[in-house]
Amino acid sequence: METLQAINITKQYAGHLALNKVSISVPRGSIFGLLGPNGAGKTSLIRIINQITAPDEGDLFFNGSPLVSEHVSKIGYLPEERGLYKKMNVGEQALYLAQLKGLSKAEATARLKIWFEKFDIGAWWNKKVEELSKGMQQKVQFIVTVIHQPELLIFDEPFSGFDPINVNLLKEEILKLKENGKTIIFSTHNMASVEELCDNIALINKSQKILDGKVSELKNLFKENIFELIYSNGTNTIAHFLPDGFVLISESEDKNLKKARIKIPENTSPNTLLNFAIQKVEVHGFSEIMPSMNDIFITKVNEFNASAQTH
């Protein structure tokens, strides 16, 4: 079952086509990566899901029903452009925003105290927002986004401005939210975070969806039959021994161990390379090199842009 479905969403602003028949399907209880270069249309889609703007064409469904204004209370949105009232006290503002989400003052206070302790910002409850560092302000905004325990959470570049320790803290909390059955749409330029967190992705470029699917399946789809062989006892480079059709991509040496990346022919078992290497050298490691999400992102965007220029 999908928490959210967007079907053929089209949006135009003053002659600029922001989204061109974009469809996504976000499975319940998953982390869904919404990816794309700057200006691709990601934020336009997020704003439509949050009902800040309406699509010109297309349909949206929340838990199988047409998306309506009542669903907003079941969505938590952390925008890329953060915004807290600088002159207001941190705790007072968090309480106010939590009550806007439908919590009673008592419930909001109890939940906020737990989150403030967890994020180690309890001492800042009575400080003004402007006294907080950017990272601390973003912690407060994250808390306010999740405080009413919405079914669907939308995080737009949630890690920007955080140091590595706080990035890990936030990642852990996002994974806990998923474990608790929440559905998360995660928009980012950080492909390493996509590798760590996302189950599915959709890649938008120049207003169109150009790729989507499960991260694991996409990695298999884009792999290039390249294997890494770690070996020793080779008086010569492994290139001298490779059978016809096998291509040495790169080779390096560190502490008497050589590391070679080798592309094997299509429809050839990796065992062919391994069996061959065992007869020639002492093998210490053998693994397939899978493409990173960064590789896939760059490949697809470049392919699409090149194709668009020829038409």
Which stretches of the chain are DSSP H helices? 42-49, 90-100, 105-118, 134-146, 164-179, 191-197, 215-222, 270-280, 293-310
Nearby residues of 255 by Cβ (< 8 Å), 6 or more positions away: none
pLDDT given for residue 1 in this prediction: 83
pLDDT given for residue 128 in this prediction: 92
pLDDT given for residue 244 in this prediction: 87
pLDDT given for residue 81 in this prediction: 74
Give the chain's mean pLDDT.
Answer: 91
pLDDT given for residue 241 in this prediction: 78
Instruction: Locate 136 and state its tokens.
Output: 């601390």
Task: Single out the residue of 251, 199, 207 nearest to residue 230, CA to CA.
Answer: 251
Residue whose structure tokens are 């949006």:
11
pLDDT given for residue 311 in this prediction: 59
User: How far is the C-alpha of 22 from the C-alpha of 15, rounded, in Å?
Assistant: 18
Pairing of strands 183-187, 152-156: parallel
CA-angle at 113, arms to 30 and 110, nearest 5°:
85
User: How far is the C-alpha of 193 from the C-alpha of 115, rounded, in Å?
Assistant: 23
pLDDT given for residue 240 in this prediction: 77
Looking at residue 89, the DSSP 8-state letter turns out to be: B
pLDDT given for residue 87 in this prediction: 86
Give 10-residue mean pLDDT values along the chain (311 residues). 95 92 97 92 94 95 94 91 83 93 94 94 91 87 95 92 88 96 92 92 95 95 94 75 89 88 93 90 93 93 84 59
pTM: 0.89
pLDDT given for residue 297 in this prediction: 92
Domains by residue range for the chain, with CATH: 2-220 (3.40.50.300), 224-288 (3.30.70.3100)
